[in-house]
Structure 1
């Protein structure tokens, strides 16, 4: 097993894509310890992705692609700018508010970072904001993607832990709002200190026109949330309905979506979905090997040896996930760690939905923390800003994010109130 750990860490340091790291490490273990496992390995890989809940991933990716091509994202930005742009630091608020809207459709921090870095960073820089601050706001706001439902990481956690994906979606509503409001309060303080610019207040006519334009776009998150809350359809079904609405809005209302765009949209959807699915498959293989070696049992016993208090366990859990999130892809880490952590948490009386929110948020924060924060790399590349400079600007936002995480960790009501409210 030591050889596998060495290979795993070595490949990570070399910058090999995480899916290949997981797969190669698994093969090294099988070759070095038990060739008989080769017969079962393909079936394990297949079983790792054979789950109905995972069908929501390509559907939500498809929704995001339709939004980009159909002019929906542009109108969301325009509407939030009319509402919030006249405040000091208004474009920073617009950035966060738009990310909240997109989060209810895309569910991916990396996708939102890429999209908003192209849209908001140049717009903010043009209005006099520093590029590093604009990028920091964009990257930190992308954390809302995997927290406000629907969420790809919630889907994967639900599949792994056999927890209701709908309950996970409901549990993410309040934490997402709390995080967004916290970022806005931070921006308010910075805006006063730095004397950020503000735009002229829109006239009533301009505001009304922007509202009329955005109403069709708002149908997408509205249908998703109302449908899930009322139980009309499941999370996966909501993704299919949202795809249909996004197509009609972009094609018939805004008329920016063209039939000639569909082949590229479908190809991009397939490529992005395949990337996630490949990671899930390889992580399932490594998770199976770890279970074969009884690693989850050993780690569980180690965690319990510290204390049988759920508060201590959650504290240790956050430290563990903080470290793991800095070096490893969140989806892969979740697939490996959830089977280890879930039994321990259940023994301590921790609700699996509450545990899932803590794990998902913590690993999502890892996307914006060096040295292996993928959202950080995306923003740095698109905005053409040095990683070190961007990281320094991100520090206040990371501190706020961890403060919110601690609140969510030790006040379960923030997470569980909405699921309990709609459980009947």
Structure 2
């Protein structure tokens, strides 16, 4: 009966955190193990008693401060220096700027919203098809969960009980591969569909754009450099980055008003609290799953199908692709990690960092695929292009991501080489 209750709540538009809590309560009542209620609240609160989770609101705050402080537009202008002169230059600029923003925001949905407002009107003004402009921007948002810092990596690190800093390192090479593949996709599209010719900046304009961007570039440097060189933990790096973003936006660019920070803090707190509550609910749900020995039962089933780790990952990728189409990526990660990670590690000897990279990239694909496709509808709302227009231009990028997923599944060291 419990699985029926879970599915009914999930497809009944009940918030995922409540789905997890209510299903857990139902299971305890139905199984007669009411003694579990004695430690129910303890399990709920222990889910958020993790220092690493502080990185989530701090990275969200950094993204908000960057948008408020005018750093996004300066990063986009700096990207123009490097690729603006190529045919289809603004499409390349879009992806390069998305790569810069992915090293700051860490959330695909937020990045798609921010970049759609900035890039789609600019591309349309230069003669690009609106659907293609929105699709390129939406595809660029897929870099956010792979290039560190990634909110999905923070959550996965907490759930898997592995160092979040190492999880960030695991995403660097896959993120760069994804950027290179997206550049190749735009080049191939340009062979069959003429794109507007770009213009190179003059030396004076390029120098001015790079100098204006330098303060903003301190933020990803503070985040990634601090973690890479062991100077700071991801949480400490996020705190430093948010402070740097505030000081640059206020003192250097003059676009942040300290008197209006209250609204920004409140917005960040609301967004972060939803994620933290889901993690607390997931801890209770995972506790019930372990008590019921669900991972062991599922492992016994899957190992009868295959003993090959790569085949197992292909099965997982297919299953997660379906899950990601129906459930938000963060919620899906919270839901499936306690079930699948023990099987991957214990039965197939798959490295947890490798598994985390594959899972995170797979689940975020659901942002851009119907029927839910939140990222697709965000790009549509921000750009004015219909979801159908965007989807028609998006399929080459989705195929490219699928190819990268298969490559990452087959070659584990792409995720673990820097560890």
TM-score normalised by L of structure 2:
0.95
Cα deviation for residue 58 of structure 1 reads 0.5
Residue deviations 1:41-88 (CA, integer Å, cap 9, x gap): 222211111111101001101100110111111100111123322211
Residue 373 of structure 2 corresponds to residue 373 of structure 1: yes
Partner of 1:422: none
Cα deviation for residue 91 of structure 1 reads 1.3
Report the 3-state secondary structure (helix = DSSP H, G, I; strand = E; otherwise coil) of the residue aligned with 1:336: helix
Partner of 2:102: 103
Residue deviations 1:267-303 (CA, integer Å, cap 9, x gap): 1110111111122122222222222222222112112
Cα deviation for residue 353 of structure 1 reads 1.0
Partner of 1:24: 22
Partner of 1:407: 407
Residue 11 of structure 2 corresponds to residue 10 of structure 1: no
Matches within 5 A, 1:118-137: 118-137=117-136
Report the 3-state secondary structure (helix = DSSP H, G, I; strand = E; otherwise coil) of the residue aligned with 1:196: coil
- Contact preservation (8 Å) 2:295, 2:343: no
Mean Cα displacement is larger for which, 302-311 or 212-221?
302-311
Mean Cα displacement is larger for which, 27-36 or 92-101?
27-36
Partner of 2:213: 214
Partner of 1:301: 300
Partner of 1:233: 232
- Contact preservation (8 Å) 1:370, 1:391: no
Residue 274 of structure 2 corresponds to residue 272 of structure 1: no
Cα deviation for residue 220 of structure 1 reads 0.8
Are residues 280 and 196 of structure 1, via their aligned partners in 2, closer, same or farther at CA, if it must alter by over 3 Å? Answer: same
Partner of 2:262: 263
Cα deviation for residue 358 of structure 1 reads 1.0
Mean Cα displacement is larger for which, 325-334 or 400-409?
325-334
- Contact preservation (8 Å) 1:85, 1:198: no
Residue deviations 1:364-392 (CA, integer Å, cap 9, x gap): 22222221222122212222333333222
- Contact preservation (8 Å) 1:150, 1:169: yes
Shift >4 Å, 4+ stretches? none
Mean Cα displacement is larger for which, 204-213 or 312-321?
312-321
Structure 2: give runs of 5+ residues left out of the alignment: none
TM-score normalised by L of structure 1:
0.94
- Contact preservation (8 Å) 1:284, 1:336: no
Residue 87 of structure 2 corresponds to residue 88 of structure 1: yes
Number of equivalences: 417
Q: For residues 173 and 244 of structure 1, what CA distance do their matches in structure 2 show? A: 24
Mean Cα displacement is larger for which, 246-255 or 23-32?
23-32
- Contact preservation (8 Å) 1:304, 1:344: no
Q: For residues 387 and 30 of structure 2, what CA distance do their matches in structure 1 show? A: 39
Partner of 1:284: 283
Q: CA RMSD in A?
A: 1.7
